[in-house]
Amino acid sequence: MATKKVTYKEAITEIEEILEKIENEELDVDELAEQVNRVSALITICKDKLHKTEAEVEKILKDMNQ
Amino acid sequence: MATKKVTYKEAITEIEEILEKIENEELDVDELAEQVNRVSALITICKDKLHKTEAEVEKILKDMNQ
Amino acid sequence: MATKKVTYKEAITEIEEILEKIENEELDVDELAEQVNRVSALITICKDKLHKTEAEVEKILKDMNQ
Amino acid sequence: MATKKVTYKEAITEIEEILEKIENEELDVDELAEQVNRVSALITICKDKLHKTEAEVEKILKDMNQ
Amino acid sequence: MATKKVTYKEAITEIEEILEKIENEELDVDELAEQVNRVSALITICKDKLHKTEAEVEKILKDMNQ
Amino acid sequence: MATKKVTYKEAITEIEEILEKIENEELDVDELAEQVNRVSALITICKDKLHKTEAEVEKILKDMNQ
Amino acid sequence: MSDQQLSLFELQRQVKGSLDDTFSMPVWVKAEISEMTVNRSGHCYLDLVETEPGTDNVIARCRATIWSYTFRMLKPYFETTTGQVFTEGLKVLLHAKVEYHEVYGFSLNIRDIDPVYTLGDMARQRREIIRRLEEDGVFEMNKELELPLVPQRIAIISSPTAAGLQDFLDQLHNNPHKFVFYTKLFPAVMQGNEAPGSITKALEQIFEYEDLFDSVAIIRGGGAQIDLACFDNYELAFNVAQFPLPVITGIGHDKDDTVIDMVAHTRMKTPTAVAEFLISGALRFSEELKELEKHFTELVNDQLEENKNRLNDAADQLNHLVNQMIVSQQNRLNIARIQLANRSAAFLKNQITELKQLSTETRNRTVRYVTIQNHQLEQSGNKLNFAFRKQVFKNKSLLQQFQNLIKFRSIETIKTEKKNLNLIQEKLRLIDPQNILKRGYSLTMLNGKILKSVQLVKEGDLIETRLSDGTVESMVEHKKLSDQ
């Protein structure tokens, strides 16, 4: 779960790939916990990125309206 | 019944193989009890793995939602 | 009729061999009773084995369901 | 007509041999009665053996089915 | 005409010899009557033997079939 | 003409010898007559024997058929 | 040839008299006003002409007067009816009395004017102008120009003294939205015959600074509504239509559009309307900008929201899928357990059935075996019976045959012997010399021996001849050999 260098897009793609694998039952139960952890980590990363972006945008808009 | 190192997948595969053997009567009666025992043990292993995974996943998801 | 060490499969094979001999009239009448007795003994052995296996299997399944 | 130790198979063989001799007219009329008697005795022996065997087998099978 | 110890076979053989001699005209007229007498006696002996055998066998067979 | 002890065969043989002699003309006329007489006597003897034999045989056969 | 000489006066009087006779009543005359003056006392003096159609060649001309009291009534009536100043250049239908004055000559005294005729003529002229502009392909040209989103630099063509101009400028510069407009006035005469030329000139000036302006506003405030004929001018319309900047008109009338209005980019009724149009344009743009900004903010927010939702969805989906997978696996294990139970039971049941079958089979086969053996024994008995009977029969036959044979052969032997003896007896009878002699044959004997050849006797030998019943003795006299 170390790779924090993933882009938002890569993270989303990976999340979707894992979800699809789970859906298609391509995942072994043995791997499940690990993969769920991975998705969780990726979602957290994405949410962090989003929050950061949101704050930034808010600031820009505020600046613009003044 | 010692080999607890089997993966979930291997366990399922073995279960199905034994079930098929029983169905096709490829088993000697002398072996049946032993094989039923084996399947039973494997099912228990699988269930344990499932429960463990379930708990683990639940924890991850809970942590993520906080 | 002493050899109780015979496996189920061996027993069945022997029964079938004797039956075949009877059918092909390879058996002397003098041996017939003896051989039928043998078959009977083997069938009894098999039944015993079956009942034992059945009980054993039932127990395993019962244990598993708990 | 004393030899009751003859086996069923031997009896049958002897019967057949005598019958063949009679058929092939290898027998003197002087011997004929004696030989017919012999065959008759053998047939009786065989029938006895058969009945005994039958009864025995029936008993075995009856015992087995119980 | 005394020798009643002759067997059926010997009788038949003797009959045949005498018949042959007669045919080959090896018989003197002086002997003819005697020889005819002999044959007659032999035939009678044979018939007797046959009847006796027949009766005997019939009895045996009758006994056997019962 | 006295010798009545001659057998039928001897008589026939003598007759044939005499007849041969006559045919070979080895006989004087005087002897011839004598020999003719002899043959005639022999024939009579033979006929007697024949008749006797015939009667005897007939009787035997008759007895035999009864 | 009348040699009667008339004084000028008399001639003029005679002309006057005949004209009066001929035109005793006023007549309706169509003519164009070429010149017109109104004197101090209010009388109107006109110079009327008729030109050759299609050219400007004058083919008739005369003076005309409208007396002041008539003129005072006719002029307003005409002008309000036509919306056109009663002035030079108009084509009119006049009700006039032909007058002839000995001193001043021929003139027409106008009593009435039919404005309908002039109206028709004006409309015709306007249609003509429009047709020409369309033919030239310029009619729509100005309309095809794109008005800048916010036309802020306005070239104004107007009369500097016009009341409307100041209102227009005030309205523009003091707009409540604080939009800034840059205006530059290009003065022009906005009425009368000079107007087209003057406006054209103003346009030419603007054209030189084309790049400095976004559009041209031709405005005329407050003036009488009857001065509009000057805007139905071909040359002016031609210039306006082709002008490279969009032209907005606010000429200030409510009636039919002038040709200038028609060819202009945008036609507003009054200067005020033009100002409002310009301000509203700016306002619209400003609102669009605001809208855009709002839209942009919304988009950004939407996207952020969408991504948040997506992540939440992913989390939900993960939860759901994992649960599903676990349930599915649990089911699978449960099924495996049930299958194990069922299949084991079925397996054992099959084995039991098989064992039962085996025991049934044992019984069947044993019974069959015993039956077969029994049958075979039965057959052996039958065979024995049959073979024995055959043997007995055969022996009986043989004995019978022997019996027959001995009978046949003994009888045959006896018969044969009998025959034989009879044959011998017959032979004997033939051989017996006594019998031969009896048949007439005789025996010749020499010296006690039978004479068998002639050669054995000599003549003179004594021979004995034996007959059946005695003997004769004789001597040989002669002998003879038989020929062979």
F50/E contact by beta carbon, under 8 A: yes
Same domain, G118 and G225: no
Based on the domain organization, do G130 and G141 belong to the same domain?
no
Q: Does some domain include residue G106?
A: yes
Using the Cβ of B43 and the Cβ atoms of chain A, whether some distance falls under 8 Å is answered with no
Asked if G424 and G446 sit in the same domain, the reply is: no
Quickly tell me which residue has 């007396």 as its tokens.
G67
Query: Which range marks the domain in which residue G465 is found?
Result: 437-475
> What letter represents residue G469's amino acid?
D
Name all chains with 3 or more CB-CB pairs below 8 Å to chain E.
D, F, G
Q: Answer yes or no: is G285 within a domain.
A: no
What pLDDT does residue E1 have?
A: 45
Asked if residue G412 and residue G381 are part of one domain, the reply reads: yes
Long-range contacts of G424-429 (CB under 8 A, 24+ apart): G424/F15, G424/F19, G424/F39, G424/F43, G425/F40, G425/F43, G427/F19, G428/F19, G428/F36, G428/F39, G428/F40, G428/F43
Neighbouring residues of G55: CB distance < 8 A, sequence distance ≥ 6: none
DSSP-H helix ranges across G53-187:
68-82, 115-136, 141-144, 163-173
More confident residue, E43 or G255: E43
Alpha-carbon span C4 to C29, nearest angstrom? 26
Which one of B32, B39, B44 would you mutate to disrupt binding with C, by most C Cβ within 10 Å of its Cβ? Answer: B32
The torsion region of residue G471 among left (phi > 0), alpha (psi -120 to 50) and beta comes to: beta
Q: How far away is chain E from the Cα of F28, in angstroms, using its nearest Cα? A: 32
**Spatial separation of the C-alpha atoms in residues G25 and E46, rounded to whole Å:** 197
Q: Do chains E and C touch (3 or more CB pairs under 8 A)?
A: no
CA separation for the pair G362, C36 (Å, rounded): 7
Our count of domains for chain G comes to 4
pLDDT for residue E20 is more than 80: yes
Q: How many CA atoms lie within 13 A of D8 on its CB side?
A: 22
pLDDT in tens, G299-344: 888 888 888 888 888 888 888 888 888 888 889 889 998 998 899 8
Does the CB of C22 have a partner CB in chain B at under 8 Å? no
Residue pair G30/G117 in contact (Cβ under 8 Å)? The answer is yes
Q: How far is D43 from chain G (nearest CA, A)?
A: 6
Mean pLDDT in each 10-residue stretch from start to end of chain A (66 residues)? 72 91 85 88 89 87 75
Measured between CA atoms, the residue of chain D closest to residue G376 is: D12
Same domain, G302 and G424: yes
Amino acid at F65: N
Return the structure tokens found at G305: 């929201």
Do D38 and D1 form a contact (C-beta atoms < 8 A)? yes
CA-based nearest residue to G199, from G207, G190, G209, G210: G190
Report the distance separating Cα C31 and Cα D53, nearest Å.
Answer: 9
8 Å CB contact between E17 and E35 = no
Q: Which of B54, B56, B64 to mutate to test the interface with G (most CBs of G within 10 A)?
A: B54
Q: Is the pLDDT of residue F49 over 60?
A: yes
Closest residue by Cα to residue G50 from G69, G65, G32:
G32
Q: Who contacts F9 (Cβ-Cβ below 8 Å, separation ≥6)?
A: E28, E29, E30
Nearest to G186 by CA among G207, G163, G164: G207
Q: What is the CATH number of the domain that holds G176?
A: 3.40.50.2300
Query: In this predicted model, what pLDDT tens digit does every residue of G281-302 receive, in sequence order?
Result: 888 888 888 888 888 888 888 8
Pairing of strands G153-158, G462-467: unpaired
**Does B47 sit within 8 Å of G330, measured CB to CB?**
yes
Q: Tell me the shortest Cα–Cα distance from A58 to chain B, in angstroms.
A: 24
Same domain, G354 and G411: yes
User: Which one of G359, G366, G388 has the shortest CB-CB distance to D36?
Assistant: G388
Residue G23 and residue G97 in one domain:
yes
pLDDT digits (tens, 9 = 90+) for G6-21: 889 899 899 999 988 9
Q: How many helices (H) and strands (E) does chain A have?
A: 2, 0
Q: How far is CA G438 from CA C16, E23, G434, G468, G469, in A?
A: 111, 42, 6, 5, 8
Is the separation of the CB atoms in D4 and D45 below 8 Å?
Answer: yes
Decide if pLDDT at C2 tops 60: no
Average pLDDT, stretch B15-37?
A: 90
Q: In sequence order, which residues have a C-beta less than 8 Å from that of residue E16 and are 6 or more positions away?
A: G402
Among G107, G134, G161, where does a domain finish? G134
Q: In what order do the strands lie in the sheet with G182-187?
A: G182-187, G153-158, G215-219, G247-250, G266-268
Chain C partners (3+ C-beta pairs within 8 A)? B, D, G
How many whole angstroms separate alpha carbon G121 and alpha carbon G90?
A: 9
Q: Is the pLDDT of residue B17 over 90?
A: yes
Query: Which tokens is G221 given?
Result: 């405030």
Q: Which positions of chain G have pLDDT values less than 70? A: 1-2, 221-227, 253-256, 484
Question: Measured in Å, how far apart are chain G's first and last C-alpha atoms?
Answer: 226
Length of chain G: 484
- Cβ <8 Å between G407 and F61: yes
Predicted confidence at residue C4, as pLDDT, reads 54
Query: How far apart (Å, rounded) are the C-alpha atoms in residues G335 and G322?
Result: 19
**Among all residues of chain A, which has the CA nearest to that of G330?**
A29
Same domain, G73 and G117: yes
Find the residue in C nearest to D60 (Cα): C37
- Which residue's structure tokens are 């003065």? G187
Contact D36/E at CB under 8 A: yes
- Report d(CA E15, CA E40) in Å as an integer: 9
Inside any domain, residue G281: no
How close D19 comes to chain G (CA, Å)?
6
Spatial separation of the C-alpha atoms in residues E28 and F57, rounded to whole Å: 14
In a domain, G483, yes or no: no
| Same domain, yes or no: G325 and G255 | no
Report the alpha-carbon distance of residue G50 to residue G34 in Å, rounded: 9
Residues of C with CB under 8 A from a CB of G: 12, 15-16, 19, 22-23, 25, 27, 29, 32, 36, 39-40, 43, 46-47, 50, 53-54, 57, 61, 64-65
Residue A64: how many other CB atoms lie within 10 Å: 10
> pLDDT value at position G46?
92
pLDDT of residue G222: 57
**Residue G482, in any domain of the structure:** no
Q: Which residues on G lie below 8 Å from D19 (Cβ)?
A: 380, 383-384, 387
Angle at which helices F29-65 and F8-23 pack, to 10 degrees? 150
E65 interfaces chain D, CB cutoff of 8 Å: no
Minimal Cα–Cα distance from G473 to chain E, Å?
A: 49
How far apart are the C-alpha atoms of F51 and F16, rounded to whole Å?
A: 21
C-alpha distances in Å from residue A3, one per residue of C14, G53, G342, G352: 68, 96, 50, 62
- Percent pLDDT > 90 in chain G is 14
- F65 — contact with chain E (CB < 8 Å)? no
At residue G48, the pLDDT reads 92
Q: Is residue G93 part of a domain?
A: yes
* Cβ separation E33–F53 shorter than 8 A: yes
Contact list, C32 vs chain D (CB under 8 Å): 53, 57
Q: What whole-number distance in Å separates Cα of residue E13 and Cα of residue E27?
A: 17
* Interface predicted TM-score of the whole assembly (ipTM), two decimals: 0.73
- Min Cα distance C36 → chain B (Å) is 23
Cβ–Cβ < 8 Å for G58, G49: yes
Report the pLDDT value the prediction gives residue C1, as an integer from 0 to 100.
45
**The two three-digit tokens of residue F46, written as one number:** 């033979």
The predicted pLDDT at position G66 comes to 93
> Does G380 contact D27 at a Cβ distance shorter than 8 Å?
no
* CB–CB contact G321 A19 (8 Å): yes
Q: What is the pTM of this model?
A: 0.54
Query: Is residue G277 one of the residues assigned to a domain?
Result: no
Evaluate whether E1 touches E37 at the Cβ level (below 8 Å): yes
G264 and G142 within one domain: yes
Q: Is G337 on the interface with C (CB under 8 A)?
A: yes
Residue in G227, G76, G216 with CA at minimum distance from that of residue G155: G216
Q: Tell me the mean pLDDT in the region E49-54.
A: 89
Task: Count other C-beta atoms under 10 Å from residue C11's C-beta.
Answer: 24
CA–CA separation, E2 vs E41, rounded Å? 10
CA distance linking residue D19 with residue D39, whole number of Å: 8
Residues B58 and B15: their CA atoms lie apart, in Å, by 27
SS3 E38: helix
Around Cβ B4, how many Cβ atoms within 10 Å? 9
DSSP H stretches of helix in chain C: 8-23, 29-65
Using a CB–CB cut-off of 8 Å, the residues of E that contact G are: 12, 15-16, 18-19, 22-23, 25, 27, 29, 32, 36, 39-40, 43, 46-47, 50, 53-54, 57, 61, 64-65
Task: Give yes or no: residues G116 and G195 share one domain.
Answer: no
Chain A contact for B60, CB < 8 A? yes
Q: Is G376 on the interface with D (CB under 8 A)?
A: yes
Whether residues G20 and G111 fall in one domain: yes
Phi, then psi, of B52 in degrees rounded to 5 = -60, -45
Strand order in the sheet with G462-467: G449-450, G443-446, G462-467, G470-475
Two structure tokens written together for G108:
């027409």
Would the CB atoms of E57 and D33 count as touching at under 8 Å? yes
Angle at B24 between CA B19 and CA B30, to 5 degrees: 75
DSSP letters for G9-24? HHHHHHHHHHHHHHT-
Question: How much is the mean pLDDT over chain D?
Answer: 84
Q: What is the largest CA-CA distance in chain G?
A: 260
Q: Is C37 on the interface with D (CB under 8 A)?
A: yes
Q: For the domain that residue G90 is a member of, what is the CATH number?
A: 2.40.50.140
Interface of A with G (CB under 8 A): 8, 12, 15-16, 19, 22-23, 25, 27, 29, 32, 36, 39-40, 43, 46-47, 50, 53-54, 57, 61, 64
Contacts of A47 in chain G (CB under 8 A): 308, 311
C66 sits in which H/E element: none
User: Which tokens sit at G366?
Assistant: 């044993």
Interface touch G340/B23, C-beta < 8 Å: no
CA distances from G38 to G8, G76, G161, G480 (A): 31, 14, 26, 236
Contacts of B66 in chain A (CB under 8 A): none
G323 falls within a domain: yes
Q: Which amino acid is located at C9 in the chain? A: K
